[in-house]
Amino acid sequence: MTEQFDVIMVGGGHNGLVCANLLAKAGKSVLVLEANEQAGGAAVTQSFADGYSVSSGAHLLYGLQPQVERDLGLKVRLAADNMSTIALSDDGKHIRIKGSSVQGVGDNDQAEMRDFHKQMLKFSSLLRPFLNKTPPRLGAGGREDLATLAQLGLKVRLLGKTDMRDFLRLIGMNIYDEVEERFSNPLLKGAISLDAVLGTHLGPRSPNTILTLLYRLAATGGRIASPAGGMGAVTKTLADSAQKQGVDIRTSKRVKQIIVDNGRATGVRTEDDDVFMSMTVVSNADPKRTIMDLVGTRHVETGFARRIHHLRMRGNAAKLHLALDGLPAIKGLDKKDFAERLVIAPDADYVERAFNPAKYGETSPNPVVEMTFPSLRDTSLAPAGKHVMSAVVQYAPYELKAGWDDAARARFEDAIMDTLARYAPDLKGRVVASELLTPPDFEQRFGMGGGHWHHGELTFDQFLFVRPVAGAAQYAMPLDGLYLCGAGAHPGGNVSGAAGRNAARAILATEKGS
Amino acid sequence: MTIQEVNQRRLQSPFYSRLAEVDRLNEWHSWKGYTSADAFYDHELEYFAIRNSTAVFDLTPMSKYRISGPEALAYIDRLVTRDMHKIRVGRVAYAVWCNDQGQVIDDGTLFHLRDGEYRLCSQERHLAWLQAAALGMDVTIIEETADIAALAVQGPTSFSVLKKLGLDGIEDLKPFGLAHFDFEGTELMVSRTGFTGDLGYELWIEAAQAEALWDALFEAGKLHGITPIGTHALEMSRIEAGFLAAGVDFLPAEETVRPGRSRSPFELGLGWLVDFKKPNFNGRRALAEEQRRGSEWRLVKLDIEGNKPAHHSYIYAKKRGRLKQAGFITSATWSPVCKQNIAIGTVRVPHGEAGSSLWVEIYYQREMHWSRVMAKATVVDKPFWDPPRRRATPPGDF
């Protein structure tokens, strides 16, 4: 007997859980099929050494949307909120950035930073309302589509002449030119550059890197938080809430095929050949996997398949996790400083140079690093008195020219450890265990194609009404009954829940309309 | 550094030596890079060979793709709008294919050569699109334009010529059928297809055997009025047959830039090729929407008063007693065999219903001076020229 549901969710990532929850809330019977042993996708807390756990993917919350928490009636517990960023200097003269204020730089830079931050916030607030909305469909002439577009146009116009000119100048620009023009302190330039390129296949001199920064700010105004219990606790909260709402979550169930019958999605087949039927299938997998592998190109049209095939989603960020027998010593840092966000990006050129090898399929010999010591504020993550370091490291191209064999991994890990040792000379001696996750690891472990955290680069050509591709930006795929709800859909990556929430609303609106 | 020389000369078809030999006018043009003749000695006499004896046209420059593999049928069925499951081995299908917007990329013929093996023949080049359509499918696409030499052998005596050539069993070949024959140890594929609307065949062979085939064919046709023809004569006959020319009567959708310059199959009068019973094919969603909403354009065949060909003319329709612009002519000719002034054009819906009247503004020049007539035209829904001999099997032994 084949089980039947109103909605089947392929993959239980955080967006999938949010979407499933809202659909169940609207009265649907919803089945979530998750390939891994725990739901949460890449937003999970996993043990990597005896007694030590860490957020396997993203480790900081930049953008969980208040609308998501409100609609689901839940509150994510934070271990730390409004964290500062400390840009490390090897001579111990670090700078501290929190919002618009920055310590450790000259008066001029401080004033520029206030101005820069104010401007970025103003511009990012133009984008903010779009995060929690289905993007307008261009050329369709629907009243709501036109209204949404007009709203953006009007908002840009209302900026006034000077700001509008600046907005239009900056939006397509690269972050390098902007920080070089404004600031003199190299650490400040480096730290802002890092923010703009985190999780992308872009260097500070790549176009689009102001857009990526604005987008990050749009989510929560640049507020950085660390969830209690790691990112897994966030998705655990989401999964519990979904289950309470009646969502049937089954783990260790990998979907291998979305079944298409007579031109519409009608269910899924799992790797162990179970078949589940539903008139609505929602995919939390990335767009490429969804269309090219799970659906199969034969069930969609050629132009669409070609656009999906050409999606740019080459992951370039690695994670390094260290189990430490104690905190390392970093010149100029107190113990409490380890609870903040530490970055190694000593100047903008350093970041660009780290990116250079990635263009040619090589890892950075001097990588940029964003690190946290989450155990400092969250003792559940490490044995008493011990600590965990979680670092996002760039650049580690998905398609490494030499291939990601053990030697390549060891070489890259050595490069990271050498970089870290310049700031924390005693770190190597404190390592009890380590884990390096490269983009292919992310792909293998979490199913994200190319190991790309955002299910596709967030640049103008894959943004807003062309995300993931033109003609499919409204969550409904051009195959009846199939929807996309993950980071590959608008508004993209980060643990925000916005894509999942928007998708659920789009699905319910479609049903109402038909 | 060495400089690599790029060959920029016009290509020559494998029949070129024979074409050059019969040519008297030296009027050539480039057809997809190939040296092609407008006419060899007189385009009107060449035209009459199509209608009265046997005309031979070199169609090697047509795009030819070999499509094979376990999923060839599934691939083609998604590519084109009609149901390809109905086209058995040994049959040929006229088909159109569309982009996702339901706009025609091209029309052409699909030859079901063998089980799981097809040839697609079209006017425009489409390798990029065909390869994009192959993403995720177990199918091989080979461009064989230069490897396969092809001749159209068209006209009432063409059957007699091929029989004399020694093609046993050719009498059983029905319209849109194909068969393989042996020609001096090489496989010769013959299809009963053409672009003239008359009894006729197309011959397909390896390029190396092209000249031998030409020689044998002309030897066999000696007493049947066999004549090489250029594109002028062919153009007249294809308008009479009511066939569309890509780049003339419609533009390949992928080459248009301005909105509204491409056409759907419905707008080209090819709705009969669209099979919505198929769950998926390129353009299906957009075409279903168009069917619901109604089309913008309509292709019309016009029988025009007078004898002045309506090249490049505007078409007018009467609206509240006044003539309003309704469209334009894309192909026009005086038809010697029908004794009619005929044209193919495009008008905005709702104009152009079969049997309705339109007006065509014809400009013509006599001894430098230009004149203009407003000629009445009637919309016809049948080909201008469609003789019973085109379909007779076995064909008449003329």
A137: CB partners within 8 A, 6+ apart:
A145, A465, A473, A474
A262 touches chain B (CB under 8 A): yes
Whether the pLDDT of residue A126 is over 90: the answer is no
Phi/psi class of residue A504: alpha, beta or left (left: φ > 0; alpha: ψ in -120 to 50)?
alpha
DSSP class of residue B207 equals G
Q: Are B295 and B103 in contact (CB under 8 A)?
A: no
Query: Higher-confidence residue: B185 or A141?
Result: B185
CA A71 to chain centre: 21
Residue A136 is predicted with a pLDDT of: 81
Peptide bond into A468 cis (omega under 30): yes
C-beta of residue A222 within 8 angstroms of C-beta of residue A121: yes
Nearest by Cα to A393 from A468, A451, A445: A451
Distance CA(A269)–CA(A256), nearest Å, equals: 6
What's phi and psi for A429, nearest 5 deg? -70, -15
Whether the CB-CB separation of B55 and B49 falls below 8 Å is answered with yes
ipTM of the complex: 0.93
pLDDT of residue A1: 66
Q: Is the pLDDT of residue A513 over 80?
A: no
Q: What are the structure tokens assigned to B354, written together? A: 């079969």
DSSP code of residue B374: E
Q: Does A258 touch chain B (CB under 8 A)?
A: no
Burial of A387 (0-12, 13-18, 19+ CB in 10 A): buried
Q: Which residues contact A420 (CB under 8 A, 6 or more apart)?
A: A344, A369, A371, A391, A427
pLDDT at site A141: 63
**How far apart, in Å, are the Cα atoms of A112 and each of A106, A116, A120, A211, A412?**
10, 6, 12, 19, 36
Q: What is the pLDDT of residues A49-100, one digit of tens each?
A: 999 999 999 999 987 889 999 999 999 999 999 999 999 999 999 999 999 9
Q: Name the minimum distance, in Å, from the CA of A153 to any CA of chain B.
A: 24
Residue A257 φ/ψ, nearest 5 degrees: -155, 135
Per-residue pLDDT at A12:
96
User: How much of chain A, in percent, has pLDDT values that exceed 90?
Assistant: 80
Residue A221 near chain B (CB below 8 Å): no
Q: pLDDT digit string (tens) for A362-421?
A: 999 999 999 999 999 999 999 999 999 999 999 999 999 999 999 999 999 999 999 999
* A310 inside 8 A of chain B by CB: no
Closest residue by Cα to residue B58 from B217, B243, B294: B217
pLDDT at res. A90: 93
- Tell me if A126 sits within 8 A of A155, measured CB to CB: yes
The strand pairing partners of B363, in sequence order, are B372
Q: How far is CA A319 from the centre of its chain?
A: 13
Inter-chain touch B99–A478, beta carbons under 8 Å:
no
Q: Is the pLDDT at A40 greater than 80, yes or no?
A: yes
Amino acid B166 reads G
Alpha carbons A40 and B120: distance in angstroms, whole number: 48
**Cα A205 to Cα A196: distance, rounded to the nearest angstrom:** 10
Cβ of residue A365 closer than 8 Å to a chain B Cβ: no
Cα–Cα distance for residue pair A299/A464, rounded to 1 Å: 25
- Is there a contact between B136 and A297 if contact means CB atoms under 8 Å apart? yes
pLDDT over 70 (residue B274): yes
- CB-based burial label for B67 (10 Å; 0-12, 13-18, 19+): buried
Which residue of B285, B289, B293 is the best one to mutate when testing the A interface, meaning the one whose CB has the most A CBs within 10 A?
B285
* Average pLDDT value for residue range A119-143: 83
Query: What pLDDT digit, counting tens, does each position of B357-377 carry?
Result: 999 999 999 999 999 999 999
- Residue B274 in contact with residue B82, Cβ under 8 Å? yes
Half-sphere exposure at residue A343, Cβ-oriented, CA atoms within 13 angstroms: 28
Phi-psi region of B33 (alpha: psi -120 to 50; beta: other; left: phi over 0): left
pLDDT at A512 over 90: no
CB B112, CB B73: distance < 8 Å? no
- String of b and e for B216-232 (b: at least 16 CB within 10 Å)? bbbebbeebbbbbbbbb
Q: What's the rounded mean pLDDT across residues A3-13?
A: 97
Residue-wise burial string across B148-161, b where 16 or more C-beta atoms lie within 10 A, e elsewhere:
bbbbbbbbbbbbbb
Distance from the Cα of A471 to chain B's closest Cα (Å) equals 10
pTM: predicted TM-score of the whole model, two decimal places: 0.94
The Cα of A292 is separated from the nearest Cα of chain B by a number of Å equal to 7
CA distance B275 to chain A (A): 13
Distance CA A198, CA A213 (A): 9
Residues A56/A40, Cβ–Cβ less than 8 Å: no
Residue A262 with chain B: CB contacts under 8 Å: 279
Helix (H, G, I), strand (E, B) or coil at A308: helix
* Secondary element (H or E) of residue A501: helix A498-513
Cα A249 to Cα A229: distance, rounded to the nearest angstrom: 21
Determine if residue B355 is left, alpha or beta; phi over 0 gives left, psi from -120 to 50 gives alpha, anything else beta: left
Q: Cβ A301–B79 below 8 Å, yes or no?
A: no
Question: What are residue B80's DSSP bridge partners?
Answer: B97
Confidence tier at A328 by pLDDT (50, 70, 90): very high
Could you report the per-residue pLDDT of A251-288, keeping only the tens digit for each?
A: 999 999 999 999 999 999 999 999 999 999 999 999 99
Q: What average pLDDT does chain A have? A: 93
- Residue A319 and residue A55: Cα distance in Å, rounded? 10
- Report the alpha-carbon distance of residue A508 to residue A26 in Å, rounded: 8
Q: Are B121 and B62 in contact (CB under 8 A)?
A: yes
Q: pLDDT of B291-350, one tens digit each?
A: 999 999 999 999 999 999 999 999 999 989 999 999 999 999 999 999 999 999 999 999
pLDDT tens digits, A277-286: 999 999 999 9
Q: Is the pLDDT of residue A191 over 70?
A: yes
Q: Are the beta carbons of A299 and B100 separated by less than 8 Å?
A: no
| Model pLDDT, residue A140 | 63
Cα radius of gyration rounded to whole Å, chain A: 22
Q: Which of A297, A304, A478 sits opposite B137 (nearest CB)?
A: A297
As a whole number of angstroms, the distance between CA A480 and CA A503 comes to 15
β-bridge pairing B369-380 and B297-304: antiparallel
Report CB contact under 8 Å: B132, A299. no
Tokens of B161: 């010529």
In this complex, is the C-beta atom of A297 within 8 Å of any C-beta atom belonging to chain B?
yes
Contact check, Cβ <8 Å, B100/A471: yes
Q: Which of A298, A307, A469, A482 to mutate to test the interface with B (most CBs of B within 10 A)?
A: A298
User: Do residues A3 and A269 touch, judged by C-beta distance below 8 A?
Assistant: no
Q: In what order do the strands lie in the sheet with B117-122?
A: B92-98, B104-114, B117-122, B63-68, B140-143
Closest to B388 measured CA to CA, from B172, B222, B156: B156
Strand extents, DSSP E, A273-414: 275-283, 317-324, 341-344, 368-372, 387-394
Q: Mean per-residue pLDDT for B54-68?
A: 98
Q: Residue B162 in contact with residue B201, Cβ under 8 Å? A: yes
Q: Answer yes or no: is pLDDT of B1 > 70.
A: no
Q: How sure is the predictor about A459, in pLDDT bands with cuts at 50, 70 and 90?
A: confident
Please tell me the predicted confidence (pLDDT) of residue A30. Answer: 98
Give the residue from chain A lying closest to B130, CA to CA: A302
Is-contact A455 A253, C-beta < 8 A?
A: no
Higher pLDDT, A348 or A149: A348
Task: State which H helix or E strand residue A412 sits in.
Answer: helix A406-421
Residue A318 dihedral angles phi and psi, to the nearest 5°: -115, 165
A162 interfaces chain B, CB cutoff of 8 Å: no
Summarize chain A as % helix, strand, coil (round to 5). Answer: 40, 20, 40
Using CB atoms, pick whichever of A262, A302, A305 lies closest to residue B279. Answer: A262
Q: Give CA–CA dist B97/B76, Å, rounded.
A: 10
Tokens of A117: 């931050």
Whether B2 shows a pLDDT value over 80: the answer reads no
| B365: CB partners within 8 A, 6+ apart | B371
* Mean pLDDT in residue range A337-342: 96
Instruction: Note whether A477 and A289 are within 8 A (CB).
Output: no
Residues of chain B above pLDDT 90, percent: 96
Residue of B100, B105, B287 to mutate, testing the A interface (most A Cβ within 10 Å of its Cβ): B100
